Structures are given as C-alpha cells and as structure tokens.
Amino acid sequence: MPTLFAKIIRGEIPSDTVYQDDRVTAFRDINPAAPVHILIVPNKTIPTVNDLTEEDEALVGHMVLVAKKLAAQEQIEKNGYRLIINCNIHGGQEIFHLHIHLLGGKLLRRMVQKR
Ligand code: 5GP
C-alpha cells in the first residue's frame, strides 16, 4: 500500500509542493504548527528513522541540505528555525513515511519540558 506521502509525491493527492528533485519532495504541511511548516520527504518510502541503513546516509544529508535551502527561500534562516523528525509512537509520528519538519517564522516554544 503506498503511503499518503507517496501519493502526494506522485501527484495523486494535491499538495502545495515547494521543491522536488529525483530524491526528495517538499510540500507545506496541511495543518501548519508555525507560519512556515514544510515537510521534506524522500521519494522512496522509508517508514521511520529505525529503517534507515548505511545506504541512506547521503539521502538523509540531502534532506537536511534541502531543508536549509528552503529556510533561505522562506527567509527564515536569519531568525532561525527547527528541524524535527518524529519516530514511532513515543516520538509522535503519525505518517509512516520518513519526513523532516521545517518549522519557523515565529519564536518556537520548547518542545520537551526540562525537569
Ligand atoms: P508526523 O506526526 O508523522 O511527524 O507528521 C505528519 C504531518 O503530516 C503532520 O504535521 C500533518 O499535519 C501532516 N499531514 C497529514 N496529512 C497530510 C496531507 O494530506 N497533506 C499534507 N500536506 N500534510 C499532511
């Protein structure tokens, strides 16, 4: 079964796509948690960080570099931004197709409370 994000990548489900190349696709989150909220997704389906292998090392680096370029494009690089990857239940992952959240455009609160 293709994931929801695989369908978005193939154009079968509409999305506000901001970047695409042969390895990754980036589109705006449907339910944004900040003024800028973009998901950077590998075109090949990798469910979670746990499923990454040595072969994916360059792909993950590419995802981060695409996030950096998009932050500049969105003009949030100077004030800063946050990159998040959720993994499985405790990480709060809802879509089991690896993705980096790029969040910015406002001061973000701490995600995890310090004890
Ligand atoms: P996760 O919780 O898995 O890290 O993040 C999944 C993200 O996908 C959520 O922020 C959610 O708002 C977003 N999302 C869920 N369904 C859709 C959709 O159909 N289109 C887009 N653009 N984003 C989606």
On whether residue 110 sits in a domain, the answer given is no
Q: Compute the radius of gyration of the chain from its Cα atoms.
A: 14
Is 97 part of the annotated catalytic residue set? no
Tell the residue nearest (CA) to atom 19 of ligand 1. Answer: 30
* DSSP-derived secondary structure letter, 49: G
Q: How many structural domains comprise the chain?
A: 1
pLDDT in tens, 9-55: 999 999 999 999 999 999 999 999 999 999 999 999 999 999 999 99
CA distance 40 to 71: 12
Nearest CA to ligand 1 atom 12: 31
30 CA distance to ligand 1 centroid (A)? 6
* CATH number for the domain that contains residue 29: 3.30.428.10
Q: How far is CA 28 from CA 1, 19, 53, 74, 83, in A?
A: 23, 10, 27, 12, 14
pLDDT at residue 110 in the model: 86
Structural domain harbouring 69: 4-104
Q: Which tens digit of pLDDT belongs to each residue from 48-100?
A: 999 999 999 999 999 999 999 999 999 999 999 999 999 999 999 999 999 99
pTM of the model: 0.97
Mean pLDDT on 2-8: 97
DSSP state of 67: H
Q: Is residue 86 part of a domain?
A: yes
